[in-house]
A and B are shown apart, each in its own frame.
Chain A
Amino acid sequence: MIYLDHAAATPVSSRVLKAMTPYLTEQFFNPSAAYLPAKRVREAFDTAKGQIANFIGAKGNDLVITSGATEANALAFTSVKAEFSARGKLPTAIAPKILVLETEHSSVLENARRYGCETIRVDHTGLIDLTDLRAKLTDSVELVSVSLANNELGTIQPLAEIAELLRQTRLSRLQRGITTQLLLHSDASQGLALLELNVARLGVDLLTLNAAKVSGPKGVGALYVGHHVHLSPLVAGGGQERGLRAGTENVAGAIGFAAALEAVKGHTAAARKKYTRLVENLKSELSQAKAPPLFLGCPKHQLANFLPVSFPGLDAERLIYLLEEQGVCVSTGAACAASKGEPSHVLRAIGLSPAEIAGSLRLSLGVLNDEANVRAAGQLICAAVNAEAERLGYVR
C-alpha cells in the first residue's frame, strides 16, 4: 500500500507506542491519587506536558490536554464573553465577536458559529485577505481565528503579520478608551513536524495542537492558553487541568504526544527539504497525465508535504476508488467534509469552478513515503487519470 493521506492520519510510531505502553499497563494509577506510585504518574504527566509546551516555546502550565484538536478549538472560543440567554441561545442581531478564515476546518467554523462570527476572505491561493481582515476588525471583535496551515491546501498563513495588526488594533482601542479584549487563536493541527513554532514569535494567545498528525495517538490534543486569557470549561467535574478540563488525565496520550514531538524536534528543516523534493517529483510525474493537472494552493507558502491538485472535468471520487484497487490511498478534501458528500468549502473559497472542485485530490506525504513509493504512486495516479480521461473521451 502507498499512503498519501498524512494530513488525515498518521501511524503511531514504535517509539511513541513504547513510551505510552507502561502508562496503559503497570503505571495505570490515577494521577490525582495520594500514594506515591500515583504521584509518579502525575510527575510523568506533568513532564510530558512540559515537553509538549517546550516544543512551542511555552510552559507545561500553559497547556490544557484535550481529546484532540476539535475540543481544543471549542475550548479556545470560550474565551469570548458571550451573553447566552437562559435557553443557551445568542441574542439576535449581535455584533460579531469572532472572525474566522472562511477556509477554516469545520471544528473552527462550527464552534465559532455558536458565538456569532464573521468570515474573512482568502485569495485564490488560500492566503488570508488582510484588507478584508482590517475592514471586519470592528471594536466588537474579541477573537480572530486563523489556522497556521490550511488542512486541504497546506497554505501557511502569515500569523506574525496578523498578530502585529491585532497588536496595533488593541493599542488603538485603548487610546479610544475601549477595553474589549482582542485575542488571536490558531489551529496548528497541520505542520507540527515541518515548522518551528514559538508562541511568542507567532504572537498567538491560543494555539491548538494535535497529536494524531505527527505520529502520536488519535484522540489527544492540546490547547496553549496565554496567561491573560480566561476560558470557561466545556466539561465540569473534578477540576483537573486547572479546572479547565475535568476528567482523569489521559496520561498515556500526553506521554505519546510528547514522544511524537520529541521525535520530530530538530528535524523540521530536514523534513521540509525531503518533502519539497518528493512533492516536486510527484508534480512532474502527474504532469505526464493525459488530463492536465492544476496544482492548487500557494507554492511559496505551502506546507512542504502538501500537494493539492485538480484534474478538472474528472471525478476525484472515481480516482480514489480506482487508486484503492491499486493500493494507493489518497483523499479529496478533508475526510469529514468529503464523507458528507458536500463540495469542499475551502476549494469554493479559493474560487474553483465546480468541475475543478469535483476533480480535486489532496495528496499529503509523510513518514510512510520515500522516493520510490512516491514515484510509483505518481505513475499509478497518472494511469487512473488516463483511464478516466479515456472513459470520458478526453484527449489532451
Chain B
Amino acid sequence: MSAKSPTVFLGMSGGVDSSVSAVLLKEQGYHVVGVYMKNWSKDLPGMKCPWAEDLADAKRVAVKLGLDFLVFDFEKEYKAKVVDYMLSEFRAGRTPNPDIMCNAEIKFKLFLEESLKRGADFIATGHYAGSQDGRLLLSCDANKDQTYFLYRISRAAVKKSLFPLAQLKKPEVKRLADAAGLANAHKKESMGVCFVGDVGMKDFLREYIAPQPGEIRELETDRVLGFHDGAVFYTLGQRHGLYLGGGLPYYVVKKDLKKNLVYVSKDLNSQALWTSELSLENLFFRSPSSLPRSGAIFVRLRHRAPLLAARFEFTDRAKGLGKVTFPAPVKRPASGQSAVFYTGTAPGSVCLGGGILV
C-alpha cells in the first residue's frame, strides 16, 4: 500500500452494500480500514440480537480483501443518543425514526470523529447516496436511495464522507459482490431499525414501556370496538395487530395519550388520514441559501416514498418551525416522522434538509 494513498475508514455492517463498498474503495486505491460499529448487543427475551454474526460477516469480508479491521464500541452513546431518544418520543405518543438519529449522532458524528482521530482522511459507508462538496445528492438508484435517513448529517461530515455506491444500483452491487466472491452477497437484507432485528418495534418497546390496557374506539361513532395494551405502541395508519375481527380492515387514525385511547376507522378516505398541509418542527437545513425563494421543493415523507412537489414556508424561522403544502392531499405520516426536502427528483438532485412532523 502506497504511503500516499488516503486512508478511508469504512463502516462495515456485514451486509452486501458495505462489503461491495470495500471492494470499490480498494480498487480506487484507497488504504481502507474496515470498522464494525458495535451499537447494540443486548439480547432481549425472545429476541436474538444478530450483532456477533454481523461482526463476523464484516470481518470475513475485510480479511478476504486484506483490510485492517477494527471494532468501535458505541453502545453507551447509542443508548443515550438513539435508544433513549426513541423511547422518549414513543412515550410522548410519537413515532420517531431512530435510523435518522443514528446517522446524525453516531455514524456521521462519533464514527467520523473517532476515525479522524485514528488517522483516517475520510470515512465511507455503504449508503445509497451521492455527495459533492458537502452537498448530499440523490443516488443513482431511485428505488434504494437512502438520503431520507441522512438528511440531518452535517455538511462538514458529508465533506469527509465517501459514498462508493453513489453511481450504482442494487442489482449491480449484488453482481459485484458475486464477482468478488463475497460470501454475504445473498445475505438477507436487514429491514427497519438495525438493532431491533427481525422482531417488531412493538416487542422491543414492551421491554421498556409497561403495557396499559385501553379502549379502541371507532372515530366516526366513538363506539368501543376492542381493547389495546397501550396507545404508545400504536402508530398512525397502522392496520395490523388491532385484533378487531374480520371484514374490512380498520386503520389507526388518532391517538389520545392522556386518555390512553386509540381511534380507528374503516374509511380509507378519513380526513384524519389525509392532509394537504404538514407542520414541521426541528427544521434542519443543509444549506439555507439553496432553498428556492418560491419555496417550491420536492418532499419525501417516507423512505422510498415518491418525491412529491410541494411548497415550503417558515411559520417561525427563529424557532425552526415551518410547513409544507401539497397541491393534493397526501397520506399523513405519524408525528415524529421526517419530511425531507429535495431540489428535484432526478439522481443528483440536492437534498436540502427537512423537518420532523409535529
Top 7 A-B residue pairs of the complex, sorted by shortest distance between their CB atoms: A321-B63, A341-B52, A321-B60, A318-B63, A340-B52, A339-B52, A322-B63
B-chain residues with CB within 8 Å of residue A318 when the two chains form the complex = 59, 63, 69
1/0 contact string of B64-107 vs chain A (CB within 8 Å): 10101100000000000000000000000000000000000000
Closest to B60 in A: A321
Closest to A318 in B: B63
Task: Give residues 10-57 of A contacting B (CB, 8 Å).
Answer: none
Task: Give residues 31-55 of B contacting A (CB, 8 Å).
Answer: 51-53, 55
- Does A176 count as interface, using CB distance less than 8 angstroms? no
Closest to A321 in B: B63
Complex: how many Å from CA A305 to CA B288?
A: 69
Interface residues on A, range: 10 to 19
Contact B63 A341 (CB under 8 A): no
Complex: how many Å from CA A322 to CA B67?
A: 12
Contact A317 B52 (CB under 8 A): no
Complex: how many Å from CA A325 to CA B53?
A: 18
Most buried by A among B51, B56, B66: B56
Contact A321 B59 (CB under 8 A): yes
Closest to A317 in B: B59
Complex: how many Å from CA A310 to CA B63?
A: 19
Task: Give residues 46-81 of A contacting B (CB, 8 Å).
Answer: none
Partner of A325, one of B51, B52, B56, B64: B64
Complex: how many Å from CA A339 to CA B51?
A: 10
Contact B52 A321 (CB under 8 A): no
Closest to B63 in A: A321
A-chain residues with CB within 8 Å of residue B53 when the two chains form the complex = 339
A: which residues have CB within 8 A of B?
317-318, 321-322, 324-325, 339-341, 391
Complex: how many Å from CA A236 to CA B62?
A: 49
B: which residues have CB within 8 A of A?
51-53, 55-56, 59-60, 63-64, 66, 68-69
Closest to B68 in A: A391
**Shortest beta-carbon distance from A5 to chain B in Å:** 16
Complex: how many Å from CA A391 to CA B51?
A: 27
A-B contact pairs, 22 of them (CB 8 A): A317-B56, A317-B59, A317-B63, A318-B59, A318-B63, A318-B69, A321-B59, A321-B60, A321-B63, A321-B64, A322-B63, A324-B60, A325-B64, A339-B52, A339-B53, A339-B56, A340-B52, A341-B51, A341-B52, A341-B55, A391-B66, A391-B68
Could you list 8 further interchain pairs (A-B, Cβ under 8 angstroms) beyond the known A318-B69, A391-B66? A317-B59, A321-B59, A324-B60, A325-B64, A339-B56, A341-B51, A341-B55, A391-B68
Complex: how many Å from CA A297 to CA B52?
A: 28
Complex: how many Å from CA A197 to CA B50?
A: 40
A-chain residues with CB within 8 Å of residue B63 when the two chains form the complex = 317-318, 321-322
**Shortest beta-carbon distance from B50 to chain A in Å:** 11
Complex: how many Å from CA A222 to CA B268?
A: 60
Closest to A322 in B: B63
Complex: how many Å from CA A391 to CA B66?
A: 9
Complex: how many Å from CA A317 to CA B63?
A: 9
A-chain residues with CB within 8 Å of residue B66 when the two chains form the complex = 391
Closest to A339 in B: B52
B-chain residues with CB within 8 Å of residue A340 when the two chains form the complex = 52
**Shortest beta-carbon distance from A393 to chain B in Å:** 12
A-chain residues with CB within 8 Å of residue B60 when the two chains form the complex = 321, 324
Closest to B71 in A: A341
Complex: how many Å from CA A322 to CA B69?
A: 14
A-chain residues with CB within 8 Å of residue B52 when the two chains form the complex = 339-341
**Shortest beta-carbon distance from B204 to chain A in Å:** 21
Complex: how many Å from CA A318 to CA B66?
A: 10
Closest to B59 in A: A317
Closest to B43 in A: A340
A-chain residues with CB within 8 Å of residue B56 when the two chains form the complex = 317, 339
B-chain residues with CB within 8 Å of residue A324 when the two chains form the complex = 60
**Shortest beta-carbon distance from A336 to chain B in Å:** 11
Complex: how many Å from CA A25 to CA B56?
A: 39
A-chain residues with CB within 8 Å of residue B64 when the two chains form the complex = 321, 325
Complex: how many Å from CA A357 to CA B138?
A: 46
**Shortest beta-carbon distance from A333 to chain B in Å:** 14
Complex: how many Å from CA A341 to CA B66?
A: 21
Closest to B181 in A: A325
